[in-house]
Structure 1
Amino acid sequence: MINDAILRKIDLNLLLAFSVLMQERNVSRAAERLLLGQPGLSAALRRLREALDDELFVRVGRGLQPTPRALAIAPAIEDALSGIERAIRPPAAFDPASWKGEFRIGLCDNLESAFFGPLAARLRELAPGARLVGVAFHKRDAARLLDEGAYDFSVSIHDEPASWHIRDPLFDQCSISIYDQKQLRLKTPLTLEDFAKADHVGVSFEGSNGSTNVDIALARLGRSRQVVATVPRFSALPTALRAMPAIATIPESIARCMAQLHGLTVSVPPIPLPAEPITMLYRRVDRADGRSVWFRRLFIDVASAALEASGCRVGISRAAA
């Protein structure tokens, strides 16, 4: 165990001065290397002598001759300084091509459908030895799972973060309506009359049938709608919409993905709906870690490209990560 009482007597600069004096055996040259004046180096040597109770260096002609004590401690001090230098040296840049291990990301259902596939494909190209793991979660558990190490970061609508977490903005998630035009022969953009008259399918992880932003917006216009079915996951929507004449109003990123994959029609809703802020949540201790920074930036690049390719009306904030 380190003896704190002994180390408190000496600071690192004194040990560095000792090391350079041992190498140079000359006060002028040592002072030049240390970027000190000769009086400053002489003062440092005086403090060393007092702390170690030994003369350490004796002037002989124009040079210095180390004492037996100085010669005895010099190897250990050199090893210690070399170890400290290696420890504080800037880390090597993260190399995804040679890294082997897991990258873990927490994504809610709708964002997973939009981004996980493109992220896995891109990661396979850049880090062939790595594995991508997606973790499902509810936003109320996001901070706890992050602290437990379930994932490197999560992407969702996050609450105000703790002081040891960082929440970076990504994009504002708009809602859009989606339906099967073979089942529901309505033109786009949907009119308020058609929207209110049509049957609707909702999405609720808890199976709730409570009022949503859509119902609130309709009520302000003196309208209401009929929700004829509620599914627990976004993945169940395409088959439901292809089987029945109904509309679902969901986040735009997954709606456009579903439209492309299942031949469905999308339309801007005829009611004003608030956008929801999608953010990235990660640990403050990982803010400057090379591997973590690389993975966060990769997600931002992939998500930005995916949103643009799908025709979404929003873009990723480049201020994140």
Structure 2
Amino acid sequence: MSGISVVNLRKLDLNLLMTLDVLLSECNVTRTAERLHLSQPSVSVHLAKLREIFGDPLLLPGARGMRPTARALALREPLRRALEALEHAISPAAPFDPALADHTWRVAATDYSEMTVLLPVLSGLRAAAPGTRLAVVEMVPADFARQAAEGLIDLAFHTRDNAPAGLRSRLLFAERYVLVGRQGHPRLKRRLTLAQFCALEHVIVSPDGGGFHAATDKALAAKGMARRVALSVPHFTFVMSVLANTDLVAMLPARLAQNTDVLRIVEAPLEVPGYEMMMLWHERSHRDPAHRWLREYIAGLV
């Protein structure tokens, strides 16, 4: 950009450009003043400034009003497009209509939140926003904040205690633990004592892989007791199959086991602290109408 262009651009402001746009349309100072709700002298002052900035008279007296110069004619369409683009950019965001939307949303979830958050809302979401797509990606808490900041992820579902800092959040529900085994399990026909509970063979979910201690073991250790953990797996989905086909039992989140005919839920003989499930998102998406609709829809159903 040349030095002259820089100087001219710095002298321009939006009011001058709007006046020039109407002047080039009307070719008349009086009608321009009426359209802009300005006085005629004010429009004349604007025109004088514009002539100085562009180094061109822009509009010359003619037999039927004013006629544009060649420079003015060259400016007319680019200026109109530029002002229309600016108006579009600063206009309030249009209301989100899910029935017409074609968004692709990306959410980070564990297999637990897939089953307890996403599965319950999926059919309704497809009906409400049939043109949208949903991509579920693996939840990596250490990387979610960066992914959200870069727009790679829209939402994540995680426990409050381990949620990444610096993100917007909303409580979805509070979860508690229950003892779960197969229907007909011979040891789950009556309420267990703590000793009987510890004698059962347990399966646990270890998200990091291979661990044999969880929240239940901490609660037992506080009482000077320990249970028998026979199997450790990384995903809840496999645990459900294990429980249905063996005599192993598990302390599971209640929402995970509540809608199945093949498993039996009983109250455990000790209190294990539960957790709060949160919906997380980045500030960059907080006011986006589509993003806000998705958050409200999920929270409303869950």
TM-score (norm 2): 0.77
Aligned mate of 2:9, from 3, 7, 10: 7
Equivalent residue, structure 1, for 2:53: 51
1:204-215 equivalences in 2 (<5 Å): 204-205=206-207, 206-210=209-213, 212-215=214-217
1:29 to 1:170, Cα distance in 2 relative to 1, 3 A: farther
Could you tell me which residue of structure 1 aligns to residue 237 of structure 2? 235
Aligned in 2, Cα 1:284/1:64: closer, same or farther, shift over 3 Å? Answer: farther
Contact 2:104–2:133 under 8 Å retained in 1: yes
Identity of aligned residues (%): 33
Give the direction of change, closer, same or farther, for the CA distance of 1:279–1:80 in structure 2 (3 Å limit). same
Relative to structure 1, the CA distance from residue 149 to residue 88 in structure 2 (aligned partners, 3 Å threshold; closer, same or farther) is closer
- Give the deviation of 1:56 after TM superposition: 4.8
What secondary structure, in the 3-state scheme, does the structure 1 residue paired with 2:85 have? helix
Aligned to 2:80: 78
**Residue equivalent to 1:65:** 66
CA displacement at 1:70 relative to structure 2: 4.5
1:278-317 equivalences under 5 Å are 278-302=277-301, 304=302
**Structure 2 CA distance, aligned partners of 1:75 and 1:100?**
32
CA distance in 2, matches of 1:9, 1:152: 42
Q: Equivalent of 1:137, from 118, 136, 139?
A: 139
RMSD over aligned CA atoms reads 3.7
Across the two proteins, how many residue pairs are aligned to each other? 295
So what's the TM-score if we normalise by structure 1? 0.73
Change (3 A) 1:27 1:115: same
Deviations 1:287-317, CA, capped at 9 Å, x for gaps: 3334433333333234x1xxxxxxxxxxxxx
The code of the aligned residue for 1:207 comes to: G
1:120/1:132 contact within 8 Å kept: no
SS at 2:22's partner residue?
helix
Change in Cα spacing, 1:52 to 1:148, as seen in structure 2 (3 Å) is closer
Equivalent of 1:255 in 250, 254, 257: 257
1:38 and 1:230 map into 2 onto residues whose CA distance is: 83
Provide the rounded CA distance (Å) in 1 between the counterparts of 2:257 and 2:6.
Answer: 62
Structure 1: runs of 5+ lacking an equivalent? 305-321
Q: Deviations over 1:64-94 (max 9, x none)?
A: 7356354553444333323332344445444
Q: Please tell me whether the aligned partners of residues 116 and 134 of structure 1 are also in contact (alpha carbons under 8 angstroms).
A: no
Letter in 2 for 1:6: N
Unaligned runs of 5+ in 2: none
